[in-house]
Amino acid sequence: MLITKYDPFQDLKEINKRFYNLSSAFPKLDLDFESSISGFVPVVNTREGEFAYHVDVDLPGVEKDDIKVDVEDNVLKISGERNFKKEVKEEDYYKVETSFGKFQRNFTLPNNVDAENISASSKDGVLEVIVPKVDVKKSKKDIKKIKVK
């Protein structure tokens, strides 16, 4: 008689194995899942400087006239539309790729920004938004000590 040790996780391991085999049966597509659903999601890099916050948005193929930058209720909204067409013609080969769609990214701004003086510029497919900081003077809180009786 063969004695085997009981593994309480054996059933879970079997389910995981079957799920993996099922998912690997489908071909992997060369698509970014999020962008294939929404059309285009631009990559954003943010950094904080001494006097301003910087928001750099990668927008290849997007003209500056198709970009809109707004501030509403302390939220920086960057939106626009991308219309991209790439055409390749060769002797026995012709290929056209098009990509179009609207995009929007929103960023909640901190309290120490000067929303009236935000600037934006677009160069070589990169939108740079500069959000200047303002000095927020910290008010000293009066601390009242209460004696426990």
DSSP 14-25: HHHHHHHHHHHT
Q: Which fold has domain 51-135?
A: Immunoglobulin-like (2.60.40)
Global pTM exceeds 0.95: no
pLDDT at residue 107 in the model: 92
The 10s digit of each residue's pLDDT in 17-34 is 777 666 555 544 444 444
For 13, the 3-state DSSP assignment is helix
Cβ pair 70, 80 in contact under 8 A:
no
- Indicate whether 53 pLDDT > 70: yes
* pLDDT tens track for 111-123: 899 988 999 999 9
Tell me the domain boundaries of the chain. Answer: 51-135
Which pLDDT score, from 0 to 100, does residue 11 have? 81
In three-state form (DSSP H/G/I as H, E/B as E, the rest C), the secondary structure along 102-147 is EEEEEEECCCCECHHHCEEEEECCEEEEEEEECCCCCCCCCCCCCC
145 pLDDT higher than 70: no
